[in-house]
Amino acid sequence: MSKYFNLSSEEWLFKEIGFKPAKQGHYESLFTLGNGYLGVRGSLEENPHHSYRGVFIAGVFDKSEGYVNELVKTPGWIDFVVTAGDTRFAVDHCKVLSNERILDIRKGVLHRCTRLKDNKGRILRFESRRVVFSHQVRGAILDINITPENFTADVTIYSGLNGDVTNTGYFPNERVKHLNLVTMKRENDLIYLEMKTRDKGISLAIAATTVFKNPPQNVIDVNRMYGEKFAQVISFKAEKGKTYNFNKWISIFTSREGYERQLHATSTDLLRDMVHEGLDTQLKKHIEERDRQWQLADIEISGDKRAQKGIRFNLYHLMIAKPHHDPTVSIGAKLLTGEGYKGHVFWDTEIFLLPFYTYVFPEDAKRLLMYRYYTLKGALKNAKDYGYKGAKIAWESADTGEETTPAYGLRADGSSVKIFTGDEEHHIVSDVVHGIYKYMRASADDDFLFNYAAEIVFQTARFWLSRVEKRRDRYEIRKVIGPDEFHEHVDNNAFTNFLVMWHLEYAHTLYAKMKKEAPDILQTLAKKIKLKPDEMEKMKIISKTIYFPYDQKTELIEQFEGYFTLKDASIKKLNKQGLPEFPKGIDCDALECTRFIKQADVVLLLYLFLDRFPPSVKKKNYDYYEARTMHKSSLSPCIYALMGLETGDHKRAYDYFMKTSYIDILDVNRNTCDGIHAAANGGAWMTVVHGFAGMRVRRGEICFDPWLPQKWKQLNYSFFWKGSQIAVSIARSQIVFSVLSAKSKNINVVVQGKTIRLAKDKQTKVRLKKVN
C-alpha cells in the first residue's frame, strides 16, 4: 500500500464500525469526497440494495420528466464487484463479519475494510481506498485489495462504469432519467462511456481503466457491455491467503467546459497521463494541494477535542465544495453530497457560506458572487414573469438563475401541498446584495464592485422600487415569507423590510461612489440598463420611509405585522438531541396561528446589523424569540449561538455551536441521507470566528473581542483582510497576530477597542482585558 494512504492522527478521522443497512444513506453523505467540480457520495463499491449512491458534477442540471430543473445524478464509476461462482461478495448477499470505514478528512481519502462470508463458509477480505483528486478536479482513483482468507477459487472482478442512473422523482418510487447513451468504446487499455442530458444536451464523458498489479498467470481481461453499464471483467484463479491489488483510474469531462468536440481525446489523454505518472505521484500532488488548503482553512481548538473534531468536519465539507474551477456555478444547499433540494442554490450561499470563503478563500468568494452576475438574465426574467421591474433573484436557482422552486410538495401521506417560497420569500433579493457588501468590506475589490456587482445591486434595487407599496403615508411590503417559514402571506416582515431599507440605501450610496470614483463605468452601466437619476432619488426616499414594526416601549421588534396578536406559548421541553419540542395542545398543522417560529428571523436581522441596534434591543429580542424558536432548520442554531455570545448567554451559545457542528455527524434532523447541510457548515465557522474569536468588521475596521468557552485553552486560525493574510492565536490572556503575507504596508486591527498596527516580519502580542 502506498505510504500516502497512511492514516492521519485520530482527530482527523471519522469512522463507521459495523454495518447497519438503515444507516447507509447517512454515511454516504458524511463520507462524500469532492473537489468543487465533482462530488462522490461514500457508497459501497458493490452497490447494495437501498444505497443512495450518487456522483454529481457542478453545474450539470436537467429537467426531462422531472418536476423542475435539477442537479443530475451522473454515471457512477466506483462499481467494483468480486464474484466466485454464484457468490457475489457484497454486504447484501453475504454475512458481514466485520466492516470499518474511515474518512480521513485531512488527506481526503475514504478507507474501507470489510470481511464477508458466503453460504459456503468462504471468507473474503475487501479493502479499498478512494480519492477524488484535489490537484486535478477531473481525476479520481480507487485502490483495492482483495484477499480470499480461507479458500482458493476462480474469481471474477467486474470493474465498471454505470450509466444506468436516475434521479429521485416527484412521487414515491418514481425515477427520472436524465441521460441518454451516446457511445461506449472498448480500447486496449481503457473503457469509455459518453452520455448526454436529455433537455440541456450536456455531454458527459468518463474514461476508466483498472490496472491489475502483479497479476498471476492465465488472467482473462475483457470489456463487457450490459445495457448502459460497461465493465472491465477480470477473471483469474485466486489463491487462499494471497492479496491481489487493483488500481481503478477515472477521468471525467463535460461539454460545459468547452470540450464538446474533444471529449474522448481529453478524457482518455488525462487517464493515460495519470496512469503513466503512477499512483504515488498523483497521491503526492493531491495531498500537497490538500495541505495547502488546510493551511488556509484549518481552525485549531486546544482543550476541547469534541469541538475540534466538529469544526474540522464542517471545514472539510466547505473545502470540497468550493467551485474554484468555474465562476458560472455556485454551491447548493446540500453541496454536491446528495439530491436534497435538487442541487438548487438558496440564500444559504450568501448569508451562511460566503463569510467562510470571503476570509479564507477570497477568490472563491468572488466566483460565488459572479454566479449571480452570470445568472442575472434569469433574475430579470423572474421579475418580469411576476409583473415587476428589475431583477428578482430566484428563491431556488439552478444553472440559469430562473426560479426553480417546485410549485407543490408532498406530505408524508402522499398528498400535495402548495409551496409559496418561490412566490413570496423575496428577502433573498437583498440577501445576495448583503453578501456582496460583506465581501467588499473584507476585500476592497472595487474592480469587482464597479464592473460586475453594481449591476446586480441596481437591478435588484429596481425590483424593490416596483415591489413596495405606499399605504398609510408609508411604504410597505405585503404578502411575503420571512426566514420563518411557519408563517406565510405576512405583511411587513421585519427582516425583509429592514433589509430592503438597507439595500436601497446601499444602492444610493454605491451610485454616489461610482459617480465620484468611476464615472465612465457608471455612465456605461446606466446606458446599458437604462438607469436614471430619479430612480436613485426614489430609492433614497423609500429607504427612509419603509415601515419597520418596532415597539419603543417594550423594545421588541414584531416579526411581522400582527405577530403579537397570535396565540402565545413558549418552549418548555427539549428532545434527546437538545432541540425544542412543541408543548402539548399545540396543533402542528396550524402553527401559523401561533407565535412559534421555524428558525431565526428577527434574531438573524439583529446579527446581520449588529451596530444598528442597541444592546438592550438585542438582549430583549434574543430572549423573547429564543423561547419561541423551534430550530426546524439547520440555519438556525448558529445564529442563536452568535447572538447568545453577543448578549451574554454564553452557556447556551456553546450548546448551539455544538448542535450546529454535529447536526450531520449525529444526524440530528434525521435527513442527512439527503445530503450535508451546507448552511450548518458555514454557520459553524461563523460561530467560531465571528463569535468566539469576536472577529467582526465595524466602521470599516477588522475588530476582535473574543470570548473562549471554559474548555478552550487556545484558538488558532488565519484569515484574509483586504489582500493580506493574517494568522491569529487567541488565549485567555493575550491575542497574537502574525502577518503571513502583506498587500499593504499598514495593516491595522482593533482589539477590544484599541487600534493595533501589525508588523510584517514579527509577531504582535496584545494583552486582553478579559476573555471569559
What strand order describes the sheet that includes 229-238? 87-89, 80-84, 153-162, 229-238, 220-226
**pLDDT on residue 578:** 85
* Among candidate residues 306, 598, 673, 586, the one with its CA nearest the CA of residue 425: 598
Determine the Cα–Cα distance for residues 168 and 146; give it in Å rounded to an integer.
33
Rounded average pLDDT over 525-529: 98
Indicate if the pLDDT at residue 99 is higher than 90: yes
Rounded average pLDDT over 254-267: 91
* Residue 474: Cβ-neighbour burial (10 angstroms; 0-12, 13-18, 19+): middle
Determine the Cα–Cα distance for residues 725 and 50; give it in Å rounded to an integer.
46
Q: How confident is the model at residue 412 (pLDDT cuts 50, 70, 90)?
A: low
* Residue 385: Cβ-neighbour burial (10 angstroms; 0-12, 13-18, 19+): exposed
**pLDDT on residue 72:** 98
Instruction: Give per-residue pLDDT as tens, 715-740.
Output: 999 999 999 999 999 999 999 999 99
**pLDDT on residue 772:** 59
Determine the Cα–Cα distance for residues 222 and 33; give it in Å rounded to an integer.
29
Indicate if the pLDDT at residue 263 is higher than 60: yes
Instruction: Give per-residue pLDDT as tens, 140-153.
Output: 999 999 999 999 99
Rounded average pLDDT over 702-710: 97
375-548: CATH architecture = Alpha/alpha barrel (1.50)
3-state secondary structure of 313: helix
**pLDDT on residue 212:** 97
Q: How many CA atoms lie within 13 A of 753 on its CB side?
A: 2
Indicate if the pLDDT at residue 194 is higher than 60: yes
Instruction: Give per-residue pLDDT as tens, 77-91.
Output: 999 999 999 999 999
Q: What percent of the chain has pLDDT over 70?
A: 100
Indicate if the pLDDT at residue 502 is higher than 80: yes
**pLDDT on residue 325:** 87
Q: What CATH number should be reported for the domain whose range is 3-296?
A: 2.70.98.40
Burial 597-615 (b: 16+ CB within 10 A, else e): bbbbbbbbbbbbebeebee
* Grid cell listed for 228: 448502459
Determine the Cα–Cα distance for residues 662 and 575; give it in Å rounded to an integer.
15
Contacts of residues 90-93 at CB distance under 8 Å and 24 or more positions apart, as own/partner, are 90/44, 90/46, 90/47, 90/48, 90/116, 91/19, 91/21, 91/44, 91/46, 91/48, 91/116, 92/21, 92/46, 92/48, 92/49, 93/118
Q: Are 465 and 536 in contact (CB under 8 A)?
A: no
Q: Is 262 left (phi over 0), alpha (psi -120 to 50) or beta?
A: alpha
3-state secondary structure of 111: strand
0.95 cut: is pTM over it? yes
The domain locations on the chain are 3-296, 375-548
Rounded average pLDDT over 573-602: 93
* Grid cell listed for 662: 454535529
Q: What are phi and psi of 128, to 5 degrees?
A: -140, 155
Catalytic residue among 127, 194, 402, 485: 485
Element (H, E) at 504: helix 494-517
Bridge partners of 316, per DSSP, are none
Q: How confident is the model at residue 413 (pLDDT cuts 50, 70, 90)?
A: confident
Determine the Cα–Cα distance for residues 664 and 268; give it in Å rounded to an integer.
37
Residue 277 annotated among the catalytic residues of the structure: no
**pLDDT on residue 274:** 98
* Among candidate residues 263, 280, 26, 236, the one with its CA nearest the CA of residue 129: 280
Residues sharing a CB contact under 8 Å with residue 346, sequence separation 6 or more, in sequence order = 332, 333, 395, 396, 397, 428
Q: Are 376 and 463 in contact (CB under 8 A)?
A: no
Residues sharing a CB contact under 8 Å with residue 251, sequence separation 6 or more, in sequence order = 138, 139, 140, 206, 207, 208, 267, 268, 270, 271, 274
* Grid cell listed for 369: 458572487
Rounded average pLDDT over 513-532: 98
Rounded average pLDDT over 537-557: 97
Q: Are 62 and 193 in contact (CB under 8 A)?
A: no
**pLDDT on residue 771:** 56
